[in-house]
Structure 1
Amino acid sequence: MDRNKLAEFLRSRRARVTPRDVALPEAGRRRTPGLRRQEVAQLAGMSIDYYIRLEQGRGPHPSRQVLNALARALMLSQDERGHLFNLAGQALETPRIRADVPEAILHLISFLEEVPAYVVDAKYDILAWNPLAGVVMGDLDARSPDDLNVIRWVFRSSDIGGYFEDEERSRFARGSVADLRVAAGRYPDDQGLQALVAELLALSPEFAEIWARHEVAVRRHNTKRLDLPDLGVIDVTCQVLAVPDREDLRLVIYTAEPGSPSHQALRKLRQLTLSS
């Protein structure tokens, strides 16, 4: 581990990120560009003292969890994230995508050629998907392994206010929190899940407000409206199915009424995906 180079890299990346980039208030004059150290520590869910020591080249050997949190807080690209891990003396971990998904389920979603299908774990990390889901869910193939959490997309979005102005998206946001609370109670020793809850409680007032209601409800199915480029708006039913022998995993499938305009749009999307 090269503490000095790690410290220099952290300082340079911090200077590049503005409060607006991470939805923080810009109150008060700033003597230097970028985020304050306290803001980075807050975004990464760590103490300010710990982060200061890292930037001063005298910190402890950071864990993978700390490095991933810093990568998110500083909005690092995939290449920058890899460099961060290298400076910290750790090889970039192999992505968890597909690692925990039974082979039979991987085969199933590949056979579902006309509908988007993907697998999520208890904390809403997307672990595997078929080509249609990759497109519908926002170019999943281009995302880093640490940018595949659906609940984080919602509550860390710069447009979070828009979610609660739309009835369908508001219902999804509230239902996701209620479902996550069930998972947090079912898997109290899942450090990743508990860390996600702590992160969102610290950084999202909207999440904290819903979490404080103590609503619990397992997600099973709902309707969803998708706005697809070149195809317009389509309506689908979102089916959530438990994976046999893996209660922490769920298979999510978007279906449309056979012969409906939405069904035809999904078929056209499949053809576009195959030809691209």
Structure 2
Amino acid sequence: MDNRNEVREFLTSRRSRVTPEQVQLPAGTNRRVPGLRRSEVAMLAGVSVEYFARLERGNLAGASESVLDAIATALLLDKAERAHLIDLARAANESPVRAARRTAPQTIRPVMQLALDAVTAGPAFVRNGRMDVLAENALFRALYSELYAMPERPVNLARFVFLHRESAERFYPNWSMSADINVAILRTEAGRNPHDKALHDLVGELSTRSAEFRTRWGAHNVRHHASGEKVFHHPIVGELRMVYQAMEPMDQPGLNFLIYTAEAGTPTEDSLRLLASWAATAGIQA
């Protein structure tokens, strides 16, 4: 699948957000475009204007690592955006057959389920880049009990956020941030694996059914979802303020193993014990 549109829109969106002042260039007058001009990016990156224009039109085929790094520096890309640019360049040079081999598996090995079940202090789950939940422990099912009560399978966190808005807004106190994160993860996956038909189908569905998704998708923001803090509001135990850590299995690239937990001595630690007790009483199992 041709990714030139993706490349063009990503590079133009990044260029438009960088001001001359941010890169120690004179702002001047009569600027007809937001952000930097192509000539300014080319000068900062040490390439010709014609060559950068070719890249920005979507043709990354053959671009060297040093050129990509120079463009990333000129556009002030963060770590996730740099990786996304490299993914886009790799995809531009890769055959669909080879790319298909990198698609994350849709099933997990039994030992991974055992590892999930061994996590008893907090919710834990495995997802792919499309936000499909492939496996989970009992506490994760209890945390997302409203989502698991819905008929759609596999459970998909992005569908929950955008297509079950009322429930999602109750569950995520900061719905807008959760929406941004979901879209950025999907956009990152689209750069990593542009030949994933299931991902294209999901993006098409969400774009058709959610104006909020369409707006965020058009922003071309990407994200590495490695660690941080999240706040949930569970219908039974109330607010849960947890930290999380994500890991990628070494033998299954493209999957993410995430664990949520509460800091010791916090109200959430007590709430997680209550959630575990409720899950056991309600018969919720992984």
Band the TM-score falls in, shorter-chain normalisation: 0.5 to 0.7
Residues 1:190 and 1:160: Cα distance change in structure 2 (over 3 Å)? same
In the superposition, the TM-score normalised over structure 2's length comes to: 0.56
- Aligned residue pairs total 177
Q: Distance in 2 between matches of 1:180 and 1:99?
A: 16
Shift of 1:161: 10
Within the alignment, does 1:135 sit opposite 2:142 as a pair? yes
TM-score, normalization by structure 1: 0.58
Question: Per the alignment, in what secondary structure is the counterpart of residue 253 of structure 2?
Answer: strand
Name 2:18's counterpart in structure 1: none
Paired position in structure 1 for 2:213: 207
**Residues 174 and 160 (structure 1 numbering): CA distance in 2 closer, same or farther, change over 3 Å?**
farther
Distance 1:172 1:139, change over 3 A: closer
Alpha carbons of structure 1 residues 111 and 161: separation in structure 2 relative to 1, 3 Å: closer
How far residue 251 of structure 1 moved from its aligned partner, in angstroms, is 1.2
1:1-276 → structure 2 map (5 Å cutoff): 100-139=107-146, 142-144=149-151, 146=153, 148-159=155-166, 168-276=174-282
CA contact (8 A) 1:176 1:219 kept: no
CA gap of 1:206–1:230, structure 2 versus 1, over 3 A, is closer
Structure 1 residue 274 displacement after superposition: 2.2
The structure with more radius of gyration? 2
Percent of residue pairs bearing the same amino acid type: 29
Q: Residues 99 and 182 (structure 1 numbering): CA distance in 2 closer, same or farther, change over 3 Å?
A: closer
Unmatched tracts of structure 1, length 5 or more: 1-97
Specify whether residues 143 and 162 from structure 1 end up closer, same or farther in structure 2 by C-alpha distance, changes over 3 A only: closer
Determine the C-alpha separation between the residues in 2 that align with 1:160 and 1:137: 11
Larger relative contact order, structure 1 or 2 (CA cutoff 8 Å, min sep 6):
2
Match of 2:93 in 1: none
Residue by residue over 1:88-112, the C-alpha shift from the partner in whole angstroms, topping out at 9 and shown as x without a partner, is xxxxxxxxxx961122221111011
Q: For residue 265 of structure 1, what is the amino acid of its counterpart?
A: S
Distance in 2, Cα, partners of 1:114 & 1:181: 31
Q: How has the CA–CA distance of structure 1 residues 216 and 141 changed in structure 2, closer, same or farther, with 3 Å as cutoff?
A: closer
How big is the alpha-carbon RMSD for the aligned residues of Structure 1 and Structure 2?
2.5
Distance 1:103 1:214 in 2: 36
> Is there any run of 5+ residues in structure 2 with no aligned partner, and where?
1-104
